[in-house]
Structure 1
Amino acid sequence: MDDDTGLSGMKVERPNKTLRELALGNLRKAILDGLFKPGDRLVERELCEQLGVSRTIVREVLRHLESEGLVSVQLGKGPIVAPLDSDVAQQIYEVRGALEAMAARLCAESDDPTIVPALEAALAGIREGYTGNDHGQVLASTSEFYRVLFTKVNRHVAWDIVNMLTVRINHLRSMTIRTDNREVEGPAQMAAIIDAIRARDGLRAYRVATEHVASAAEIAMQIFADLKQS
Structure 2
Amino acid sequence: MPAQLLQLEAAPDLVDRVYRSLLDAISGGTLAPGTRITQEEIAQQLAVSRQPVLQALRLLKKDGFVQDAPGRGLQVAPLDTVAIRNIYQVRGALDALAARLAAQRRYRMPDEVIAAGRAAARSDDVAAMIEADLGFHRAIYEAAGNPLIGESAQLHWRHLKRVMGAVLQEMGQREAVWDEHQRIADAIAAGDGERAARLIEDHSLQASRTLAERLEQVLQSAPTNDPRRQT
TM-score, structure 2 normalization: 0.75
Shift of 1:94: 0.8
Match of 1:83 among 36, 55, 78: 78
2:18 maps to 23
Task: State the alpha-carbon separation in 2 of the partners of residues 74 and 182 from structure 1.
Answer: 38
Shift of 1:101: 2.2
1:148 maps to 139
Task: State the alpha-carbon separation in 2 of the partners of residues 103 and 183 from structure 1.
Answer: 24
Shift of 1:209: 1.0
Shift of 1:158: 3.1
Find the structure with the greater CA-based Rg.
2
Match of 1:32 among 3, 13, 27: 27
Shift of 1:95: 0.9
Secondary structure of the residue aligned to 1:183 is coil
Task: Output the aligned Cα RMSD.
Answer: 2.7
Match of 1:117 among 84, 93, 109: 109
**Which amino acid counterpart does residue 146 of structure 1 have in structure 2?**
H
2:225 maps to none
2:9 maps to none
Shift of 1:32: 0.9
CA 1:127 to 1:56, structure 2 compared with 1: closer, same or farther past 3 Å?
A: farther
Shift of 1:229: 2.7
Task: State the alpha-carbon separation in 2 of the partners of residues 176 and 203 from structure 1.
Answer: 31
Q: Which moved more, 1:131-140 or 1:35-44?
A: 131-140
- How far does the alpha carbon of each residue in 1:162-193 deviate from its partner, in whole angstroms, 9 at most, with x for none? 22423223223333433322531322221221
CA 1:154 to 1:45, structure 2 compared with 1: closer, same or farther past 3 Å?
A: same
Question: Greater relative contact order: 1 or 2 (C-alpha under 8 angstroms, separation 6 or more)?
Answer: 2
> Contact 2:91–2:156 (CA<8 Å) still a contact in 1?
no
Runs of 5+ unmatched residues, structure 2: 1-11, 222-231
- How far does the alpha carbon of each residue in 1:35-77 deviate from its partner, in whole angstroms, 9 at most, with x for none? 1222221233332333232333322221222122211122415
Task: State the alpha-carbon separation in 2 of the partners of residues 127 and 46 from structure 1.
Answer: 40
> Contact 1:196–1:205 (CA<8 Å) still a contact in 2?
yes
- 1:101 paired with 2:96, answer yes
Shift of 1:220: 2.0
Q: Give matches, 1:70-219, under 5 Å.
A: 70-108=65-103, 110-112=104-106, 115-118=107-110, 120-130=111-121, 133-181=124-172, 183-219=174-210
Shift of 1:127: 4.0
Shift of 1:206: 2.2
Shift of 1:93: 0.8
> Contact 1:39–1:81 (CA<8 Å) still a contact in 2?
yes
> Contact 2:36–2:69 (CA<8 Å) still a contact in 1?
no
